[in-house]
Structure 1
Amino acid sequence: MSFDQEQYTRTFSSFSGADIVATFNGRLIGELQAITYSVVREVAPIYTMGSPDPRSFSRGKRGISGSLIFTMFDRDALMEEMKKSYEGAPDLMTFQQYQWNVGAQENQILSGLQAAKSTGGYGIETWDEQMTKLGYGAVSGQQGYSADGLTGFYTPEYADQLMPFNIAITGANEFGQRMGMELYGIQILNSGSGFSVDDVVAATAYTFVARKIKGVERKANLRTSGQSSANTAAGESYQIV
């Protein structure tokens, strides 16, 4: 009795979450637990006199949104990875901010207002005066006002301060089958997390909007094409007969 092995080895391609990884601007974040996305478009009916039924439908604006869920270990995975800088790569994740709203400058405002409050001069005029002093003294060693010295670039403290980034989703299973898709221009809207005695695993969730989605595409099967992976051990090779 002959055994037809081909009918069992030829099959449809399918991928589970265990076969998929996601890279954020080229940074692979292993804590990603789930990613969802949806595409919504406005469609409005067009009516005319003499008929209760729509004559046509007008297609309007499109919106792309979704969510990201990360398992939380001992860090905020998305924030920590996106703030990293790599040799030869542009520092894209820094954001522009007024200097007095960041770090030591912010403390100067609070300490200055506290001192003014003790002398009875606390109020909006004191606030303006303190802000003006910080504005004039923003550039070290320079006299007078300088608009260039009012702002600087800083690493983000909150996820909504991250610059737009892309997400590439790649799937590869044990049979050599591969697929990929991309989401472009991701901007974070909301973030949330929490802890409970009833939760064994802590997670952080984000919602986002995107500019464009490139749908799932099949990639070349390394096994059937006779190619070998770059991770194949030295000296190992195979040939499709």
Structure 2
Amino acid sequence: MIQQEQYTRTFSSFSGADIVATFNGRVIGEIQAITYSISREVAPIYTMGSPDPRSFSRGKRGISGSLVFVQFDRDALLEEMRKNYDNKAPQMLGYQTFIANANGQGMNGSMGLEMQILNGLKATRGTTTGYGIETWDEKMTELGYGATNTFNPDNLTDFFLPEYADQLMPFNVTITMANEFGQRAGMEIYGVQILNEGSGFSVDDVVTAKAYTFVARKIKPVERKGNLRLEGRASGSPVQDNKPVGGALII
């Protein structure tokens, strides 16, 4: 038993089955893969009299990556971000937009008009072909005046819940690793902003996936965390009188 314990301490490795990803304090079980890359501009410096670079100057750094989710019967990222966990997770931040460009109810009580305009809402004034941009102009003007005779541009905007992933405010991703031997590690990606999203369906596909690309501000690399096996216990389990607890031998 002692030899086995010493052997399992020698190497620490983790597979995808040992990893959980947390998005702004929310664990999303549909995550299938997460990748990232760090690149930096490096430019050669030349002077007259030599075709070879005298030196190299390092410039801007960029962090980017991708997220892949298995597609079940929901948009996992957006739906989890919208959930309210009664102050146990950060509240989702809405995005500001013009009321005529949004759907649903805004955080200040305004009702979005986008679907009405897209579905052919006719202007109440003007020509008989008053659709589209003419309707948008009219509705925005009416919103600006509201119930008064004074135009107030503050009435034109409100905060709405995102309809697309690229409307999500920046968030952090935490990657937690824990294997069967009690070894643990973790890393963080800060300031993630979604750029693109894509998915598709085919009769030949058994699994449907949804992919996102993102940029980030900073990455905290993988760091080793406390090995619970060294303490001879599982997380949260009591240790009593240096005796085996849960089948683990305390050394």
Q: Above 0.5 in TM-score?
A: yes
Q: Report the residue type matching 1:105 in the other structure.
A: L
Unaligned runs of 5+ residues in structure 1 are none
Unaligned runs of 5+ residues in structure 2 are 104-111
The structural deviation recorded for 1:16 is 0.4
The structural deviation recorded for 1:108 is 5.0
The structural deviation recorded for 1:15 is 0.5
Taking structure 2 as the reference length, what is the TM-score of the superposition? 0.83
Q: 1:133 aligns with which of 130, 135, 142?
A: 142
Report which stretch shifted further, 202-211 or 76-85. Answer: 76-85
In structure 2, what is the Cα distance between the partners aligned to 1:105 and 1:23?
Answer: 34
Shift in alpha-carbon separation, 1:135–1:107, aligned structure 2, 3 A: farther
Q: Report the residue type matching 1:93 in the other structure.
A: L
In structure 1, what is the Cα distance between the partners aligned to 2:197 and 2:56?
Answer: 36
In structure 1, what is the Cα distance between the partners aligned to 2:132 and 2:183?
Answer: 67
Q: Secondary structure at the match of 1:111?
A: coil
In structure 1, what is the Cα distance between the partners aligned to 2:222 and 2:144?
Answer: 51
Shift in alpha-carbon separation, 1:123–1:176, aligned structure 2, 3 A: closer
In structure 1, what is the Cα distance between the partners aligned to 2:51 and 2:136?
Answer: 62
Q: Secondary structure at the match of 2:63?
A: strand
Contact 2:121–2:131 at 8 Å: present in 1 too? Answer: no
Matching of residues 1-241 of structure 1 within 5 Å: 5=4, 8-88=7-87, 90-103=90-103, 104-109=112-117, 110-113=120-123, 119=128, 127-137=136-146, 141-230=147-236, 232=237, 240-241=250-251
Aligned residues: 234
Q: Report the residue type matching 2:98 in the other structure.
A: Y
The structural deviation recorded for 1:106 is 2.5
Shift in alpha-carbon separation, 1:211–1:121, aligned structure 2, 3 A: closer
Shift in alpha-carbon separation, 1:10–1:227, aligned structure 2, 3 A: closer
The structural deviation recorded for 1:125 is 6.1
The percent of aligned pairs where both chains have the same amino acid is: 68
Q: What's the C-alpha RMSD, in Å, of the aligned pairs?
A: 2.7
Q: Secondary structure at the match of 1:13?
A: coil
Taking structure 1 as the reference length, what is the TM-score of the superposition? 0.86
